[in-house]
Structure 1
Amino acid sequence: MNFLEIRRRRIHRAASAVLVISLIAVACNFGQPVQEPVGIAPAASSVAATAEATQAVTTATAPSVVPPLPTVEEPSPTPFVDGADNPPTSEPESLSQQAEKFTTPDVVKILTPSVVQVVTETLSMNMFNQASPSQGVGTGIVLNADGHIMTNNHVVDGARRITVIFENGESREAKVVGNDFQTDLAVIRVEADGLELRPAKLGVSADMQVGEDVIAIGHALGLPGGPTVSKGVVSALGRSIDTDSSTTIVDLIQTDAEINPGNSGGALVNDRAEVIGINTAIIQSGRGIGFAINIDDAKIVVSQLMERGYVVRGFIGISPVNVTPGLASRFDLPVTKGILVGRVIAGTAAADIGLRVEDIIVQLGATPILNTGELSKFLITHQPGETVAVVYYRGDTEMQDEFTLGGRP
């Protein structure tokens, strides 16, 4: 084995062990031993290893019927059309800045019918290598009267059965319409016949400011009697978290509103009863540090999931690994942030320009690419067939080229 091969294997082992932020995704599993991690699904890569399994929650009970809530005058829901000829706009309709602000109890009354419990059933292997059913719980947000519901991908990923429980206690089986592990978003759908669905009002997360009040609504721990409500502020904007060495989620809203297992896919809302984020993860070792996917990015992804069941991105043809300061220091890499090429797929854009394993991509077009989340976001807005300039390092040498993005095979 030559020196380069030894170095390559050491880098790959180190990359798989690096986890910048230790987090648990806030879905809740109960009743069975730990199964597959309920964190965000890892990107396909021959280099990166998945993050550590999340901690299972072992006690929860079925929800009970919640009594009808008093009538509150509320904003009309954002239209969410899932036809290819009339997709929803990327900038959702929003109340004006002069719109009425509601008290916290009124916000809860408005949103509670739109926030549903998502119960999943999966199969896992027990200590005797036998298939054993296990159950988990998360939260979803009603998007339209046709039965589309938005949630996290890690809530429904791998589920053999999905049940949605509504405010009045009625339950319906749901099917996955589409999911995207890179953004941890999914859309499921129930048969809407006979249901009076109340779609949530979607706001504009770009309008949020640090310090603004927010309310988290979700089915924490699967507790009976309706959703759990907590209140806090926007602690920070534009946060990024690494869920494993190959997956980063970017532009997250950080909040100190209490988020617990079971809240995954639930609503983070402002004082105008608008959903501005989807509760997704918490720091395992922290306190009062939770993260939500901003609704502006979510609308782009969810629109595509509703239209075609998947998200169209330009395809480079590599297995990406996040470069971190620790990895850079250990292996004397030329940069502390970027995308380390773990594998090059034959016949793709990367192969066409001669990218090699251990090259480090740092820029596409005019956009710095610091992690896989920024890479994913860039490729959503740059479609197959588009020619893009690339800046990358080979050893200590900065190189420039351009390639034509392909479509994912």
Structure 2
Amino acid sequence: MIKITLAIAISLLLVNFACNRVEKTDQFAAGDVLTPKTEIHVTSVAEVQSLPSTSENAETPVPAAQIPPAPLVTSTPTMVDFISVSSHDDSMTTVEAVRELEPSVVQIATDTVAISQYNRIVPQTGVGSGIILDKAGNILTNNHVIEGADYVTVTLSDGRSYPANLVGSDSITDLAVIKIAAAKLTPAKFGNSSNLEVGEDVIAVGHALGLKGGPTVSKGVVSALDRTIQTDAQKAMVDLIQTDASINPGNSGGPLANSRGEVIGINTAIINDSNGIGFAINIDDAHVVVDQILRSGYVMRGFLGITPFNVTDSIREQLNLPVADGVIIAGVVEGFPAGESGLQTEDVIVMLNKAAIENSGDLSKFLLNNPPGSNVEVSFYRNGELRKVELVLADKPD
């Protein structure tokens, strides 16, 4: 049972107000200043609902070669190896890099059956992109592209279409793996995002707006690294690649590649009215998630047993906190490590095993890399005093 204090309840209202009613269609002024640790609210590439003709959830013409979709069912995961090449290979021209990458990029069409308030069936369609992982038919995309879909159809670069099954997904990192039964597939080559430098050329490839005639290609540079974006009061995505390569609805799940045609990121988010600011999940972090999905069909994380919220200016002022960053405990799940170790609501976690925890994204990444059974030293503030406790992470309950 989760205990939430009155102060937290008040703080949550302030969070909603401070976040300016964070919704899937948050927009930002062009003058917003971003720093490597700036937290900003964004719209995922599939979440632009106000313009149906350009939304990944809008109705999209079905390609002529598409076969009738099959229900999205769970596929048995199989382990595969990423095909990687040396990061020291000579750069290609943009044309050569695109020619290398394009056969590995697919269009993903989704169909969802919804019921209106008048009990009428309302079909909804969406479109996104994906990357072929291996010749067995595993395809990497964003979770938000396929989430909630009843049917998923994959169209290859040569026009062939196949129904897809779900292997596994992870909403926290916004990644998913689906699988098709097809021959003559061309897996992508993967680079190393840890070697990226600001100013390096990058190429975004994907099925922008669901346009017919093949994927859209745009070129830009790595504008910044290690970006943090706030998706809501409880969630943040960290260590993202920021780029000015044009990313539009339909690009979700498609590759961000370097000048050697290697995938170094998964396009995932844009900021409305931001003059070309887009974000991609770095491929090194994606590998960790994909490996777990291919191994077991899901992502295993250690579990503290708390309801986390990011520290905001309003919460800091309301609770008179001595720190600007961290994760405030809004609730404690009884019978799990946090509560058993003595952690309480309104405690603010700032470090785990001496690693800084500035937001819920840092917390999620730590728990991803520290499975159940891991020993953890928690550094936290209570009533203005820095304290420490030790605990052992648990399995997350179903």
Question: What is the TM-score when the length of structure 2 is the normalising length?
Answer: 0.86
Which of 23, 47, 56 is equivalent to 2:42? 23
Query: How far apart are the structure 2 equivalents of 1:362 and 1:5?
Result: 20
| CA 206–135 in structure 1, closer or farther in 2 if over 3 Å, else same | same
Equivalent residues of 1:259, 1:282 under 8 A apart: yes
Answer whether contact 1:103 1:271 (CA < 8 A) is retained.
yes
Shift, 1:55, TM fit: 6.7
Partner secondary structure for residue 389 of structure 2: strand
- Residue 330 (structure 2) aligns with: 342
Give the SS at the match of 1:226. coil
Q: Who is 1:284 aligned against?
A: 272
For residues 93 and 296 of structure 1, the distance between their equivalents in structure 2, rounded to whole angstroms, comes to 12
| 1:394 to 1:295, Cα distance in 2 relative to 1, 3 A | same
Cross-structure match for 1:11:
11
Q: Measure, in 2, the Cα distance between the counterparts of 1:58 and 1:308.
A: 32
Describe the SS at the equivalent of 1:311: coil
The match for 2:118 is 128
Paired amino acid for 2:224 = A
Moved segments of 4+, more than 6 Å: 28-34, 54-57
| Alpha-carbon distance, 1:300 to partner | 0.9
The residue aligned with 1:103 is 93
Partner of 2:340: 352
331-340 vs 176-185, which deviates more?
331-340
Q: Which deviates more, 260-269 or 331-340?
A: 331-340
Counterpart of 1:247?
235
How many residues are matched? 364
Q: How does 1:5-404 map to 2 (within 5 A)?
A: 5-17=5-17, 18=19, 19=22, 20-27=39-46, 58=58, 60-63=60-63, 83=78, 88=81, 93-97=84-88, 99-192=89-182, 195-404=183-392
**Structure 2 SS opposite 1:177:** strand
Q: Which amino acid aligns with 1:108?
A: V
Any stretches of 5+ residues in structure 1 without a counterpart?
A: 35-53, 66-81
For 2:123 and 2:112, how far apart are their aligned partners in 1? 6
The answer to whether the 8 A contact 1:279-1:291 is kept is: yes
What letter is aligned with 2:104? S
After superposition, the Cα gap between the structure-2 partners of 1:96 and 1:30, relative to the gap in structure 1 and judged at 3 Å, is closer
Instruction: Select between 314-323 and 334-343 the one with higher mean Cα deviation.
Output: 334-343
CA contact (8 A) 1:15 1:321 kept: no
Deviations 1:268-294 (A, max 9, x none): 001101000000001123111100000
Contact persistence 2:322–2:384 (CA under 8 A): yes
Shift of 1:125: 3.6
RMSD of equivalent CA atoms:
2.4
- The DSSP-based 3-state class of the residue aligned with 2:379 is strand
TM-score, normalised with respect to structure 1:
0.83
Structure-1 residue corresponding to 2:68: none
* Paired residue type of 2:232: D
